[in-house]
Amino acid sequence: MRSGDDEAWRIILTRYRRVVLAVARQHRLGPDDTADVLQATWLQLVRCVGDIRDPACLPGWVRTTAARECLAVLRRQRREAPAPEVGELAVSVPDDVDERLDAERWHGALQCALATLPQRQRALIDALFGWQELSYAQLSARLSMPVGSIGPIRARALRHLRVVLRDEVGVPA
């Protein structure tokens, strides 16, 4: 990727496009603003690709960068919003940019911590906390794992994540 491999870039753009779209959707951006966020995120990746040392952290980096770009779009929209008409009630909306950035930092740290899990534990955590809510029977079938093993493996994975977040990343778990 760093050497300008077109195929590697195509794979990254395809793989992480949904991540950027999901972040834009969470920020309730329209199609034009979402396209701007996609473009700005990929431009930042081109600029910063040399700074990303651990490829396992790329999903968190993409998510954090997309969130920052979304917040930049929202700030621009707020500045460009027309003044209220005379007699209209101007409602002050609290600015929760710091909260969102903290959440993105947590997400990035969690992505890096997840990358340190053994493959079996990572697959289980991804399935448990993914988009679909699955029963233990469904998890067992999907992961070829006995139902009775799911709880203990989940407990080990969560314990590992707590330790990594607390000790290595400096995030209180």
93 confidence band (pLDDT: 50, 70, 90): very low
Question: Domains of the chain (ranges plus CATH)?
Answer: 1-79 (1.10.1740), 116-173 (1.10.10)
Instruction: Please compute the mean of the pLDDT values over residues 59-69 and round it to a whole number.
Output: 89
Residue 78 belongs to what H/E stretch? helix 58-80
Phi and psi at residue 117, to the nearest 5°: -70, 150
Q: Which pLDDT tens digit goes with each residue over 19-35?
A: 999 888 888 888 999 99
Measure CA of the first residue to CA of the last residue in the chain; give whole Å.
34
Q: Identify which of 172, 119, 128, 131 has the alpha carbon closest to the alpha carbon of residue 154.
A: 128
Q: How far apart are CA 164 and CA 113, in angstroms?
A: 6
In single-letter form, the type of residue at position 45 comes to: L
pTM, two decimal places = 0.47
8 Å CB contact between 90 and 48: no
Q: Identify which of 115, 122, 121 has the alpha carbon closest to the alpha carbon of residue 55.
A: 115
Hey, what are 98's tokens? 């710091």
Q: Which pLDDT tens digit goes with each residue over 99-121?
A: 666 667 777 777 778 888 888 99
All residues at 6 or more sequence positions from 166 whose CB lies less than 8 Å from its CB, including other chains: 172, 173
Q: How far apart are CA 158 and CA 138, in angstroms?
A: 20
8 Å CB contact between 108 and 57: yes
8 Å CB contact between 161 and 117: yes
Q: How far apart are CA 142 and CA 24, in angstroms?
A: 30
Higher pLDDT, 96 or 21: 21
All residues at 6 or more sequence positions from 49 whose CB lies less than 8 Å from its CB, including other chains: 1, 2
For residue 143, pLDDT beyond 60: yes
